[in-house]
Amino acid sequence: MTMEAIDQVVNAFEDTARRVVKTGFDVVEIDCGLGSLFSSFLNPNVNRRTDGYGGTIEGRTRLVLEVVDRVHAVVPDSMPLFLR
């Protein structure tokens, strides 16, 4: 996955969170379960990246944390944000 594609994913999650808030949902949940894009980044047996998104646990969690930060920034404090 290119850096540009990673940026697109992060932006897409932020845009989706904005639409979720505008639509009136009660909760936002980000799924990191088995088979998701995030699970492939988190798993050291799958993630063979040598850039800032691979290697150490900090690198492998970077994408998830970037998405959580961007989603949290657009979700009101009164709306729960779950990470599964």
Q: How far is CA 57 from the centre of its chain?
A: 15
Q: pLDDT band at 84, cuts 50/70/90?
A: very high
What are the tens digits of pLDDT across the range 8-48?
999 999 999 999 999 999 999 999 998 999 999 999 999 99
Q: Where are the domains of the chain?
A: 3-77
Annotate the chain with DSSP letters as a single string: --HHHHHHHHHHHHHHHHHHHHHT-S-EEE---TTSHHHHHH-TTT----STTSSSHHHHHHHHHHHHHHHHHHS-TTS-EEE-
What is the C-alpha to C-alpha distance for residues 7 and 14, in angstroms, rounded to an integer?
A: 11
Per-residue pLDDT at 11: 98
pTM: 0.93
